[in-house]
Structure 1
Amino acid sequence: MKADAVRGHLDGLLLAVLETGPLHGYAIITAVMNRSGGALELRTGTIYPALKRLERLGLLTSSWESIGERRRRCYRLTDEGRRSLAGERAEWRQFTAAIGAVLNPGSNA
C-alpha cells in the first residue's frame, strides 16, 4: 500500500489503537500493522511528531514507565481524544461511502 495512503488519517489510526488502553510508540506501530494485516507500516519518524501534536491538542496524555532498566513513554487517550475518535470514524464512513459511490457506481456501496 502506498505510504501516502495514511495521510489525513494518521490521527484517527493512532487514536483508534489507543482506544483499548495505553501503549508505547513501538507498540502503537505494531498495533496498526497487526490491525491492517501488515498493509500499514508506520515509521517512528512519522508517529512521534503526531503523538506529540495530539498530546498538545489534549487528545492524549503520556507518562514515562519503566520496564526493568528501560524507560518508555506510554500514551493514553483522553476523554477529548475519545470524542475526536468518534468524529474521525464518522468522517471516515462518509469518505468511504463517497469514494465507493464513485468507484462502484452500480453498487450500493
Structure 2
Amino acid sequence: MGAIDGDKLRGHLETMILSNLEQGEAHGLEILRRLEEAGCGLLRLKEGSLYPALYRLEADGEVEAVWEVESHGRRGARRRIYRLTAKGRGKLADGRAEWGQFVRILGGILGAPA
C-alpha cells in the first residue's frame, strides 16, 4: 500500500486529531508524531495541514490550547499545548459514527468481507 496523504485524508484529519487528543494533551509536533506512528509509517502529514486544522478546531471550541509555562529544559520557543473539550468529544463521536457508515457503504460497494 502506498502512502496515505493529501486527498485520501481530506475530511478526516480533524476527527483523527480529536481522537489523538483523546489519549491526552499534546503540542502540535507531538500530535503529528503520534498520528504518523499510529499510521505504521504509511500516514504522511504535513505541518501545513495539521496547524490549520488545529486552529479550526480551536476556533470551534472543540479543542483548547494554552502556552507552555516554560520550555522544560529544552531550547526554543514555548509550545501551544492542545487538549480535547467536551464539545470536541461530541464531534469525535459523530466523526466515528460517520466513518463507520462510510466504511460499511464502501465495503458493500467494493465487496469487502464484512
Same fold by TM-score greater than 0.5 = yes
Distance 2:4 2:54 in 1: 22
Paired residue for 1:80, among 77, 84, 87?
87
> Which residue in the other structure is 2:98 paired with?
91
CA RMSD between the two structures: 1.3
- More relative contact order, 1 or 2 (CA 8 Å, 6+ apart): 2
1:42-81 CA-to-partner distances (Å, cap 9, x unmatched) read 1111111110010000000001112235410110000000
> Which residue in the other structure is 2:39 paired with?
36
Distance 1:82 1:100 in 2: 27
Identity of aligned residues (%): 44
User: How many aligned positions are there?
Assistant: 107
Q: Is the 8 A contact 2:27 2:81 kept in 1?
A: yes
Runs of 4+ in 1 over 4 A off after TM superposition: none
Q: Is the 8 A contact 1:29 1:41 kept in 2?
A: no
Per the normalisation by structure 2, the TM-score is 0.88
> Which residue in the other structure is 2:25 paired with?
22
Gaps of 5+ in 1: none
Q: One-letter code of the match for 2:57? A: L
Q: One-letter code of the match for 1:96? A: V
Gaps of 5+ in 2: none
